[in-house]
């Protein structure tokens, strides 16, 4: 057998092995959160874009929600502004909000759209303002005292940080039905017309819920959810997650991620996955293998 025939045989085998997964997910919607930390390497960005285009080509409907925390951090640094994070959320004053909108709605959103289109897909970029997709309201968080004797907690004003109050998916439905791939920046608009900076995981989770997606896939810069010894936790339910939060094993940027994954599966999304965006073709590995990759979160057990 020539080398070319061997290669073609291998491709044919791979394709037929993927067939049951393609049949299972064809026509289904998948919400993929593409984290800013997973967008750093050119090869990885290209492999992500190819995965998305391939999915669409086999009849799956990917909806991309992206972050861009490190990219916002870079521009803030260039203009000499410091950022503070509380419970994984960036404290956002008006000037920071302008930069967030420029970086997420402009630079990051358009670069992902461009990348997908360069691989033969048809992507359309949106923020939550387009088509009134995401209405937001102000998010306030409470900080508990480190002293267990002090039971009261302090409410902290995070500025223009929002949470999703409602999602109108009309514009997403229209794009999906016309064979476009929606690429969404996590900016919401308040009833007062103000812009809100929303953690991208929260937006991805809510959109997955409202679309009743088959999967919510959160790409990040760790192998998945890790235990106190740094070992990957492959399958978890709500009770186990809450115990890990109480033990302080889950903190920072993983808090909104795991929170939205739990909320999504409890609201009807079949499964949520936290996977390693530093691995080439991470999304396809999750979709087209029985064992999957990263951490799988299912509903129940709270
Ligand atoms: N138990 C945990 N397992 C894995 N990562 C964790 C855990 N707890 C906190 N983290 C932190 O969460 C980070 C991922 O969140 P974040 O930085 O917001 O990523 P992204 O930009 O992908 O949303 C990890 O890099 C890690 O520092
Ligand atoms: C309120 C809040 O923290 N918003 C985030 C929005 C971007 C984001 O979520 O980016 P990653 O997914 O790359 O972390 C921020 O300002 O960084």
Q: What is the CATH number of the domain that holds 152?
A: 3.40.1160.10
Determine the atom of ligand 2 nearest the C-alpha atom of 66.
12
Task: Indicate whether 1 belongs to any domain.
Answer: no
Task: Indicate whether 2 belongs to any domain.
Answer: no
Task: Indicate whether 9 belongs to any domain.
Answer: no
Range of the domain at 140: 27-298
Residue 122, judged by CB atoms within 10 A of its CB (0-12, 13-18, 19+), counts as: middle
Query: Which residue has its alpha carbon closest to ligand 1 atom 17?
Result: 253
Query: Which helix (H) or strand (E) segment is 134 a member of?
Result: strand 134-144
Task: Indicate whether 115 belongs to any domain.
Answer: yes
Identify whether the C-beta of residue 217 lies closer than 8 Å to the C-beta of residue 284.
no
Task: Indicate whether 22 belongs to any domain.
Answer: no
Q: What is the arithmetic mean of pLDDT over 114-119?
A: 97
Q: How many CB atoms lie within 10 A of CB 216?
A: 30
ipTM of the complex: 0.96
* Block residue for tokens 């968080």: 141
Q: What is the pTM of this model?
A: 0.92
Task: Indicate whether 5 belongs to any domain.
Answer: no
Structure tokens at 227: 């235990």
* Block residue for tokens 């819920």: 209
Q: Give yes or no for residue 302 having a pLDDT over 60.
A: no
Task: Indicate whether 116 belongs to any domain.
Answer: yes
Quick one: pLDDT band at residue 133, thresholds 50, 70, 90?
Answer: very high
Q: Tell me, using a 6 A CB cutoff, whether residue 186 lines ligand 2.
A: yes
Q: Tell me, using a 6 A CB cutoff, whether residue 69 lines ligand 1.
A: yes
Determine the atom of ligand 2 nearest the C-alpha atom of 36.
13
> Rounded to an integer, what distance in angstroms lies between the CA atom of residue 127 and that of residue 209?
18
Total number of domains constituting the chain: 1
Partnered with residue 195 across adjacent β-strands are 189
- CA distances (Å), origin 42, targets 112, 217, 275: 12, 21, 19
State the chain's mean pLDDT as an integer: 92
> Rounded to an integer, what distance in angstroms lies between the CA atom of residue 192 and that of residue 153?
28
Q: Which residues are annotated as a binding site?
A: 68-69, 90, 197
Task: Indicate whether 21 belongs to any domain.
Answer: no
């Amino acid at each position: 057998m020539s080398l070319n025939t061997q290669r073609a045989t291998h491709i044919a085998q791979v394709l037929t092995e993927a067939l049951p997964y393609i049949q299972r997910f064809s026509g289904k919607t998948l919400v993929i959160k593409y984290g800013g930390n997973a967008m750093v390497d050119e090869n990885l960005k290209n492999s992500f874009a190819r995965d998305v285009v391939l999915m669409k080509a086999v009849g799956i409907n990917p909806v991309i929600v992206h972050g861009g925390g490190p990219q916002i951090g870079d521009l803030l640094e260039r203009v000499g502004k410091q950022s503070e994070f509380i419970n994984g959320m960036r404290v956002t004053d008006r000037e920071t909000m302008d930069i967030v909108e420029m970086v997420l709605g402009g630079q990051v959103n358009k670069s992902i759209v461009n990348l997908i289109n360069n691989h033969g897909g048809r992507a359309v970029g949106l923020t939550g303002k387009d088509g009134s997709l995401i209405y937001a309201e102000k998010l306030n968080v409470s900080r508990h005292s480190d002293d267990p004797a002090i039971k009261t907690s302090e409410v902290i004003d995070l500025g223009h940080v929002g949470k999703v109050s409602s999602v109108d998916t009309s514009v997403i439905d229209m794009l999906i039905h016309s064979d476009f791939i929606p690429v969404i920046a996590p900016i919401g608009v308040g009833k007062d017309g103000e812009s809100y900076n929303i953690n991208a995981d929260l937006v991805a989770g809510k959109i997955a819920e409202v679309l009743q997606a088959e999967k919510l896939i959160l790409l990040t810069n760790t192998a998945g959810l890790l235990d106190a010894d740094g070992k990957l936790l492959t399958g978890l339910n709500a009770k186990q997650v809450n115990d890990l939060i109480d033990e302080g094993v889950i903190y920072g940027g993983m808090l909104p991620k795991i929170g939205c994954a739990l909320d999504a599966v409890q609201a009807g999304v079949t499964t949520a996955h936290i996977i390693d965006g530093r691995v080439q073709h991470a999304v396809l590995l999750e979709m087209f293998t029985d064992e999957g990759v990263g951490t799988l979160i299912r509903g129940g057990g709270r």
